Structure 1
Amino acid sequence: MTTDEQLFIGLYNQEKQSLADLYDRYSQLLWKISYRTVADDAICEQILREVFQDIWANPDKFNNGRKLSSLLIECCLSRIDSLVIQKIS
């Protein structure tokens, strides 16, 4: 069983430590992606908060046989796109 699979089991069981471990493992990657696009610390924090709230509330959405890192990046990019669209509107 991989570490990501173990983290998912914890997320399904609503174990806060699993969320903290997931954050420790992926937050820097997602921060770098966010910051390259928006270059604003507060917005990056908001994006990361929303991504990790989403995985906490909907772990099934992130467990579809694909790499977890890819799914988290997609979620992060989706949040960035939403913010850009809101600014344009």
Structure 2
Amino acid sequence: MTTDERLLIRLSNQEQQSLVDLYDRYCMLLWKISYRTVADNAICEEILRQVFQDVWAKPSDFNNGKKLSTLLIECCQSKLNLLTLQKSS
């Protein structure tokens, strides 16, 4: 079992420390992706908050056979795309 698989099990069990561990593991990756798109610290913080909130609320959505990092990146990009659409309308 991989570290990410164990982490998802812990998230499913609502272990608070698992969210901290997830954040520590993936925060910088998601921050860099967000910052490349928006270059605004406050917006990046909000995007990351939403991503980690989504994982905490529904960890099963992040356990579908793809790598956890891939799913987190997709979630982050989805939120960035939504933000871009909102700004352009």
1-structure distance, mates of 2:59, 2:44:
22
Map of 1:44 onto structure 2: 44
Computed over aligned residues only, the root mean square deviation of the Cα atoms, in angstroms, reads 0.4
Specify which structure has the bigger relative contact order, considering alpha-carbon pairs within 8 angstroms and separated by 6 or more residues.
Answer: 2
Normalization by structure 1: what TM-score? 0.98
Give 3-state SS (helix, strand or coil) of 2:25's partner. helix
User: Which letter does structure 2 place at the counterpart of 1:39?
Assistant: A
Task: Identify unmatched segments of 5+ residues in structure 1.
Answer: none
Structure 2 gaps, min length 5: none
Structure 2: which amino acid aligns with 1:48?
A: L
Task: Spell out, residue by residue over 1:18-66, the C-alpha distance to the aligned partner (whole angstroms, 9 max, x if none).
Answer: 0100000000000000000000000000000000000000111100010
Letter in 2 for 1:78: S
TM-score by length of 2: 0.98
Aligned-residue identity in percent: 72
Q: Counterparts of 2:12 and 2:75 in 1: how far apart (Å)?
A: 19
Q: Secondary structure at the match of 2:64?
A: coil
Residue equivalent to 2:84: 84
Distance in 2 (CA, whole Å) between partners of 1:88 and 1:36 is 18
Count the aligned residue pairs.
89
Distance 1:85 1:71 in 2: 21
